[in-house]
């Protein structure tokens, strides 16, 4: 029951920031991190101008419920206390005082998820988080508030 209460909020906290340094390489934790307008996380392999997948966000609560560690699903931002999964495309998220993200679509789990655990791709369907574009960049840190506008 506690998890439902925590996850019903439209406001939460950033609990981890990580970048992908390359294909099949472990995620690298960052704190602080620089988010670049219409590009993504500085030096992340998925960062691209105009892309719908500039950042991947997922709830820590989802990772815990699925017995996964932060970074396992290759997310850039891990949150706590805010419901991201199921947000409609176009919703805007504010992180700290500078960064704004626009949700572009849910993240579909790829076949690489089954490399972590057999059947994980199927288990993550509808739960792998959301993809976003950067509307305004800036610096973010672990502990920064995140809220749905």
- List the CATH number of the domain containing 118: 2.40.33.20
E-assigned strand segments in 4-149: 10-19, 28-29, 33-36, 40-41, 55-59, 77-82, 92-95, 99-106, 130-136, 138-140, 145-148
Q: What angle do CA 102, 80, 10 make, to 5 degrees?
A: 55
Rounded to whole angstroms, the Cα distance separating 119 from 99 reads 35
Q: What is the pLDDT of residues 46-82, one digit of tens each?
A: 999 999 999 999 999 999 999 999 999 889 999 999 9
Q: Is the pLDDT of residue 1 over 50?
A: no
pLDDT band for position 23 (50/70/90)? confident
Mean pLDDT of the chain: 90
Nearest residue to 79 via CA among 101, 112, 104, 105: 101
Instruction: Report pLDDT for 59.
Output: 95
Instruction: Report pLDDT for 8.
Output: 54
pTM beyond 0.85, yes or no = yes
Instruction: Report pLDDT for 60.
Output: 96
How confident is the model over 33-51, as a mean pLDDT? 95
Rounded to whole angstroms, the Cα distance separating 22 from 32 reads 20
pLDDT band for position 3 (50/70/90)? very low
pLDDT band for position 5 (50/70/90)? very low
pLDDT band for position 114 (50/70/90)? confident
What's the structural domain count of the chain? Answer: 1
Share above pLDDT 70 across residues of the chain, in percent, rounded to a whole number = 95
Q: Which domain holds residue 113?
A: 2-148
């Amino acid at each position: 029951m506690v998890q439902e209460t925590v996850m019903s909020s439209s406001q939460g906290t950033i609990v981890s920031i990580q970048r992908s340094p390359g294909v099949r390489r472990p995620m690298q934790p960052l704190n602080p991190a620089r988010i670049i307008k219409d590009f993504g996380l500085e030096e992340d392999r998925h960062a691209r101008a105009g892309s719908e997948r500039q950042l991947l966000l997922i709830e820590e609560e989802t990772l815990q419920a699925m017995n996964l560690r932060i970074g396992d699903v290759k997310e850039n931002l891990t949150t706590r206390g805010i419901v991201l999964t199921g947000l409609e495309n176009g919703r805007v998220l504010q992180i700290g005082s500078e960064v704004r993200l626009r949700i572009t679509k849910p993240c579909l789990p790829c076949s690489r998820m089954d490399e972590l655990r057999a059947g994980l791709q199927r288990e993550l369907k509808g739960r792998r988080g959301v993809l976003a574009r950067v509307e305004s960049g800036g610096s973010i840190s672990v502990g920064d508030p995140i809220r749905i506008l």
